[in-house]
């Protein structure tokens, strides 16, 4: 078992039995399960994790450092203020060579400041009601694209 005191939102929302990953100082990621939670007087949370892998790498140490991976998604990390919503869909504005385009994106995960986004796949766009012609004409976001923070979507073409 590994015990730690945390004060993050994820720690405060944790439940017994939740499965997470711990990234050890050796950069190994090991599966863990929350087995005990206790609220502390200073509003922090004491959490005990149970692990069964890589224990031999930890037994020589009295104190260890590790990161708790509460969730893991792959995509592009962008500021939340770059996303606009219209009819239940998420858009960003890309600036490429001075031309600004609205691009439909899927928000995979978000917190107070950032979102993890990705392009929709063909099947998901069909389920949203787009035609094959519409889908083939859609632009996609890629890793080094410049995005606009707090875009003025009123002045953009759809």
pLDDT tens per residue, range 86-114: 989 999 999 988 889 999 999 999 888 99
pLDDT averaged over consecutive 10-residue blocks of the chain (158 residues)?
91 94 88 94 93 83 88 92 92 90 93 92 92 92 91 66
According to the model, what pLDDT value does residue 58 have? 80
According to the model, what pLDDT value does residue 137 have? 92
According to the model, what pLDDT value does residue 25 have? 83
76: phi then psi, degrees, rounded to nearest 5: -100, 130
Helix, strand, coil percent content, the chain, rounded in steps of 5: 15, 40, 40
């Amino acid at each position: 078992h590994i015990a730690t005191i945390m004060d993050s939102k994820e720690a405060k929302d944790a439940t017994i039995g939740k499965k997470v990953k711990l990234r050890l100082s050796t950069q190994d990621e090991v599966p863990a399960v929350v087995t005990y939670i206790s609220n502390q007087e200073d509003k922090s949370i004491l959490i005990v994790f149970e692990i069964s892998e890589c224990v031999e790498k930890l037994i020589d140490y009295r104190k260890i450092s590790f990161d708790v991976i509460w969730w893991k998604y792959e995509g592009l990390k962008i500021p939340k203020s770059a996303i606009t919503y219209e009819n239940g869909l998420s858009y960003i504005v890309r600036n490429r060579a001075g031309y600004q385009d609205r691009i439909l994106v899927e928000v995979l995960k978000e917190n107070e400041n950032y979102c993890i986004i990705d392009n929709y796949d063909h099947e998901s766009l069909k389920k949203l009601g787009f035609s094959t012609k519409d889908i083939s004409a859609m632009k996609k976001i890629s890793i080094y694209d410049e995005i606009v923070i707090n875009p003025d979507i009123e002045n953009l073409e759809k």
